[in-house]
Amino acid sequence: MLRTWTAPRAGTHVWAASGQPPSARQGGLSASDVLERRSRGEGNGSIASTGRTYSEIIRENVFTFINLVLFLLGLALILLGEVSDAIVAVGVVLGNVTVSLFQEVRAKRTLDQITLLSRPWATVIRDGQEWSVDPSEIVRGDTIVARPGDQIVVDGAVISSGPIEMDESLLTGESEPVEKDMGDIAYSGTFCVAGTAMYRADKVGAESVANALTARARTFRRVLTPLQLEVNVIIRVILLVAIIFELILLAQAPIFHFSVVESVKMSVVIVKLVPAGLFLSVTLAYALGALRVARRGALVQQVNAVESLSNVDVLCVDKTGTLTANRLKIHALQPIGIQGAELRSALGDYAASSSSDNRTNQTLARECEGRAQSIEAEIPFSSAWKWSALAFSGGRLRGVYVLGAPEILAPQASLSSDLTAQIESWTKSGLRVLLFARAVNGRLTRYSGAPVLPNRLVPVGLVSLSDELRPEANDVLSQFRAAGVRLKIISGDDARTVAALARQAGLSAQLVASSGMELSEMDEKQRASAAEVTDVFGRITPDQKEDLIRLLRQNGHYVAMIGDGVNDVLSLKRANLAIAMQTGAQATRAVADIVLLNDSFSSLPFAVQEGQRIRNGLRGILKLFLSRVLSVALLLMAVMILGAFPFDPKHISVLTTLTVGIPSIALAIWAHPGRSPSGGVTRSLAHFVLPAALTVAVAGVVVYVFVVLTASGNAQLRAQTALTIVSVACGLLLLPFVQPPTGWWTGGSELSGDWRPTYLAVALFLAFLALLAIPALRSFFGLIPLGLPTYLSIAMIVGVWTVLVRLTWRARLLERFLGVDLQQHAGG
């Protein structure tokens, strides 16, 4: 039974375990000792955190460049008297912040719950009793008990006789257990897998090795994707253009005698060049992707992480605990002098009868059916002697059976040349090879109690073991390879072992492997070359792993890293995209952009598709926004030269809402997965945007001048109305060109086959016609009725524009004129 004990520090609760400590000689600290050491700052409470607080999440999402632009836009609109438009601009900010905060706060809460559920407890000895305490309650000098399955929570020396075996894979990446005896150091973040011992808390808090590694990566990083970087550049350019137009307006106002009201309206139109709705569309697309991926078992911490995954061209994967399931499997059984079924049954009985619960026995028990037999003596496996033995007293097995490393058992066993060759072949392939042998009788211990290998062993069989890949790993990695993503496996294990696993995962048999020792002897240039050509890295330290990621990025790659241990934290931070396993170290989950729930890779291919969907949707949205911005800017330039102004602020509101506001949301929702064209976003969009904007501007100027010259009265407002109609009609016709439903509409974009954007364009145009037909709405938006001849002229010009822009795209007229090739970068 456990009972509650309240420590001297108020509010601190621990649990006392019944029974006595493993050694009466270890009484542990007293309650007063604990209080005194905690008062001196020697507690384990100071632990570096790589996660973010709620206040940090709020600050990072509110104070961004984009939000600053929109706040300034709203302020400018208020100063110009356009309060309703200012509310829209600020509303976009609030929408951006709300969506981003919802996603990232939700992810943080989920991770906090995972951390709480997986948080280890420690068994300490105080006042001669065992107490189960939270790791934060440990102080320097505490005596801590480690049993199989327990996590080591602080660094310290083993102070009782062992040996015990530790799994240090989360810290070093090496999968083989490490033996610890009295005086050896047990490191935080590792696990006891065999034996029971006590260790002393020597390095607590930030002093421990695990926390020292974590502290180097505690600064949270936000990595922008290539699309985000180019969108930011585009926005800055548009902002600069708007400022230039405002300066031109200030210079023109006294020359053309613009009134204050006219100047204010013109300023509002210019300010509205900045595409406020674009930011909300981007945020919405990211949020939709994150929600879809979450349903498949991946937690997205960064709203741009899903889109980021679609940019990856190099995927680095940690081996132990990430690519593998931290379990072994039988690669092959080779019977010697007996039948295969007899060997499998004997191994099953051996594993079932052993008291050891190491990974080898777990594998044999799982894959070889057997029953526990009566035994007289047992020597458990230890890395010190590299074998285990059982002396059976009767039943299906009689005598002594030994399982161990062939090179250790060979002096007492007669191995043929064929067996030796087989052992060497498996070993060179990176497999773990064990020899199973028996002796009719023989002592297992010396008089001193030390283990002794029996004489005259008779080989019974060979067992080769390999790491077990996660069930979905092979299929997922093959999908990445098919998509052109290069795979690199990085591990602290021997390079041969890692290479064997890589081949099992589907990598080429001619893969290139390298070791950490080889890398340490190279200069920067040689390491950069090795990072490029090598597929498998073994015996890699955390610093070397981080350096490999840095070199790959330096070589121009977009790198994703998947890891689970503390030793992966630095490389995860260095990568463009960090992916962690749910059961990995808390520090890796905290720095990750994506956390794979249930440690399953299966959500990654779907996440790649969602990333492609986001990229394709945003490219379509950018085509609409940039075509609108550039065409309006050209119209402003052309008409301002004539000493007039093309739009009223309300006209721009109608144009923006119908041609980009509503369609952009629809495109974000309806986007299709599929690989995007190569090259930068700006250049790939130029094929679509430049012809569209130039031809719309030309059509608009023609209509504007035509109406001004033919109008009998109120020419300015009639011309603005006609220009608004042309701009809306052409803007809506761009929708089927962005997502071509049939081959006729292709040219600016590749065939989509999706009719929904076309139907939406028709519906929005009908809504616009209703606005023109209803006097109250028409008057509210500053439009006036035009005569039938004017409407027919506008329809004819729009028809000519449709044919002309299609011809410009298909014949690549603009590219030919400019002498550039944009078509190879264009696409849907």
Q: What is the DSSP string of 658-687?
A: IIIIHHHHHHHHH---SPPPSS-HHHHHHH
pLDDT above 90 covers a percentage of the chain that reads 36
Q: Is this model's pTM higher than 0.85 or not?
A: no
- Note the pLDDT tens digit of each residue in 77-93: 677 676 766 675 566 56
| pLDDT class of 22 with cuts at 50, 70, 90 | very low
Q: Which one from 318, 564, 568, 593 is the annotated catalytic residue?
A: 318
Tokens of 546: 């981080």
Angle at CA of residue 616, ends 71 and 552, nearest 5°: 90
Judge whether 467 counts as a catalytic residue.
no
pLDDT at 147 (0 to 100) = 85
pLDDT at 827 (0 to 100) = 41
Among 547, 529, 490, 492, which residue's Cα sits nearest to residue 513?
490
pLDDT at 103 (0 to 100) = 66
| Residues 71 and 93: beta-carbon distance below 8 Å | yes
pLDDT at 490 (0 to 100) = 92
Residue 3 has pLDDT above 90, yes or no: no
Average pLDDT, the chain: 84
How far apart CA 591 and CA 475 sit, in angstroms, is 27
**N-term to C-term CA, the chain:** 66
Q: Which residues pair with 6 in a beta bridge?
A: 13
Torsional sign, CA 468, 470, 471, 475 = negative
How far apart CA 300 and CA 110 sit, in angstroms, is 10
Residue 70 has pLDDT above 70, yes or no: no
Torsional sign, CA 137, 140, 143, 147 = positive
Q: DSSP secondary-structure letter at 206?
A: G
Tokens of 777: 């709405």
| pLDDT class of 748 with cuts at 50, 70, 90 | confident
- Note the pLDDT tens digit of each residue in 597-625: 888 888 999 999 999 999 999 999 999 99
pLDDT at 797 (0 to 100) = 96
Q: Which residues pair with 464 in a beta bridge?
A: 332, 433
pLDDT above 70 covers a percentage of the chain that reads 87
Place of tokens 């995007």: 676
Decide which of 3.30.1330.10, 3.30.300.180, 3.40.50.1000, 3.30.1480.10 is the CATH code for 293-324+471-603. Answer: 3.40.50.1000
Question: How many CA atoms within 13 Å lie on the side-chain side of 590?
Answer: 20
pLDDT at 393 (0 to 100) = 82
Residue 25 has pLDDT above 50, yes or no: no
pLDDT at 213 (0 to 100) = 67
CATH class of the domain whose range is 325-469: alpha beta
Contacts of 195 (CB under 8 A, 6+ apart): 148, 162, 163, 164, 165
Place of tokens 């290479």: 499
Question: How many CA atoms within 13 Å lie on the side-chain side of 242?
Answer: 21
How far apart CA 670 and CA 663 sit, in angstroms, is 10
- Note the pLDDT tens digit of each residue in 164-215: 888 887 777 676 778 888 889 998 888 887 778 899 999 988 788 777 766 6
Region of poorest pLDDT, from 110-114, 271-275, 532-536, 808-812? 110-114
Residue 5 has pLDDT above 60, yes or no: no
Contacts of 554 (CB under 8 A, 6+ apart): 528
pLDDT at 8 (0 to 100) = 42
- Note the pLDDT tens digit of each residue in 644-680: 778 887 888 889 889 998 999 899 889 988 776 655 6
| pLDDT class of 246 with cuts at 50, 70, 90 | confident
Residue 11 has pLDDT above 70, yes or no: no
Instruction: Write down the CATH number for the domain with range 607-825.
Output: 1.20.1110.10
| Residues 164 and 195: beta-carbon distance below 8 Å | yes
| Phi-psi label, residue 173: left if phi above 0, alpha if psi -120 to 50, beta otherwise | left
Instruction: Please report, for the chain, the start and end positions of each structural domain, with discontinuous segments joined by +.
Output: 1-161+174-196, 293-324+471-603, 325-469, 607-825
Region of poorest pLDDT, from 401-410, 447-456, 463-472? 447-456
How far apart CA 711 and CA 397 sit, in angstroms, is 109
Highest mean pLDDT among 2-6, 268-272, 326-330, 426-430 belongs to: 326-330
pLDDT at 356 (0 to 100) = 81
Angle at CA of residue 69, ends 66 and 72, nearest 5°: 150
Asked if omega into 406 is within 30° of 0 (cis), the reply is: no
pLDDT at 514 (0 to 100) = 93
pLDDT at 771 (0 to 100) = 94
| pLDDT class of 732 with cuts at 50, 70, 90 | very high
Higher pLDDT, 44 or 526: 526
pLDDT at 350 (0 to 100) = 95
Write the burial class of residue 427 (CB in 10 Å: 0-12 exposed, 13-18 middle, 19+ buried).
Answer: middle
Residue 9 has pLDDT above 50, yes or no: no
Residue 530 has pLDDT above 70, yes or no: yes
Task: Taking residues 214-227, report their average pLDDT.
Answer: 68
How far apart CA 748 and CA 822 sit, in angstroms, is 11
